[in-house]
Amino acid sequence: MMTRKLIFFDIDGTLVDHEKKIPPSTQQAIEQLKAAGHELVIATGRGPFMLKPISEQLNIESYVSFNGSYVVYNGEVVYSHSINPDRLAELTQITLN
**H/E segment holding residue 71:** strand 70-73
2 vs 4, which has greater pLDDT? 4
The span from the CA of 70 to the CA of 11, in Å, is 16
Q: What is the pLDDT of residue 34?
A: 96
Per-residue pLDDT tens over the stretch 32-81: 999 999 999 999 999 999 999 999 999 999 999 999 999 999 999 999 99
Using an 8 Å Cβ cutoff, are 6 and 39 in contact? Answer: yes
Q: Report, as residue numbers or ranges, the catalytic residues.
A: 10
Q: What is the pLDDT of residue 78?
A: 97
Q: Is the pLDDT of residue 97 over 90?
A: no
pTM for this model (two decimals): 0.83
Q: What are the structural domains, with CATH classification, of the chain?
A: 6-96 (3.40.50.1000)
Q: Is the pLDDT of residue 1 over 70?
A: no
